[in-house]
Structure 1
Amino acid sequence: MQQEEETAMLKYKHKFPNPFGWLLDKFNNFKSEQLKYHESLWSWFHWTITYTCGKGLYYNLLSKFYYPIRNYQKWVRFGERVGKRTDVLWNLSKPLTLTFITEDKGYCPTCHERAVENGDAENNDWYKFFHADYNHHYETNLLLSNKKYTYTYCCCEDLLFEPLEEYYTSGGESGSSMFTQECAQWDINKDIRPKNGWDPLKEHKAQKLPKGWRFKNDY
């Protein structure tokens, strides 16, 4: 008799389970089955919030508003037909400043040193190596009407394209088709003069600005 009552109670519990236990089982099953979906959904939500309202909004503001204003520039060239080229630049980031760039030929110390090492020139043959392009940068304030020298950008095209020419002549075994050499481009301050007499090589070493130097208004 007791055994029959226990069997009937088990059937009743199986037919009408504990509501709390039933909900807990359903939740566990749902969680195990939908875990991957929830993780992907959370990842998408986190990415959307981060890159739309966080970093994304920050970079969108930079790219759409700040960078166009900072990089907006007007450029005019004068005197190219008469051989005295002058570039005039105006930047929206510096509305009261005009930048003038004049070009002429200047001394190339690397070509001179290499020629002396190879025995093709003497130390006092510096005048034979005035073939580098010198771009002198000046600035003027529209209100003060003053003109101030800032620096000179120098470039030797012979050194600039030397790795490429070596690459072609060697059939690709030496040189470089993608990169040039550091000595092909440099910055100097022509207002600097050495103390002990005038010598083109010493003067150039004294004028040369350190690697990685940038004028404070350059980008």
Structure 2
Amino acid sequence: MADTDRIDRFTAFTKLPRAVAQDGRISYRARGLLAALWCDRPGWTWTIEHLARTRGPAVEGHTAITRAVKELREAGYVHRTAVPVRGEQMRTAWTLHRAALPGGAAAMTPWLRWSHAVGRDGRISYRARGLLADQLSYARLDAESVALVGGVATLDDRHRIRGEGRAALRTALAELLAAGYATQVRGHDAAGRLLWQTALYRLPVPVPALA
């Protein structure tokens, strides 16, 4: 696949509302799942089993996805429905409710340019995608990167209520580093103490070849 073809796959994007990426009512994992679902066509119906089976090696398992869906349901982002399986049997399925934003429909803007391929990148977990979306939502619309706001310790303090402690966030950041969505360099603060400077990127560097 040519480099331009790979880049085209990543530059197709959806308008992800910043209010979604920054919604502190839900965890980074739930926001990452929500950002992935935002890339699908309106009205698409899905099951937890389907997400756990098809979304890539780094995607969390059935239990973790179930908890994330529970968060999204409590926040009003997804609705439960039923789809036929065979004969008269029915299976529980879910559909996205895009208008369930803090602030209502008016919060659909401003928005974040969210790559479809990033939203569906199974090399990184939903938690890592949620962290990436949250941080990119603070950047200018045309910016290709952003400095990690406040550092991992601040993120831990902000979302401790959702059980995403510092270790979980460090793991998510490590995934982003390994996949090319982040870089780190060592620096020092004004007192001469060691300080890691982290940058997060809208697209991975280099852009991978996707099947």
TM-score, normalised via structure 1 length: 0.20
Compare the two structures and name the one with the higher helix fraction: 1
Higher relative contact order (CA 8 A, sep 6+): 2
TM-score, normalised via structure 2 length: 0.20
Structure number with greater Rg is: 1
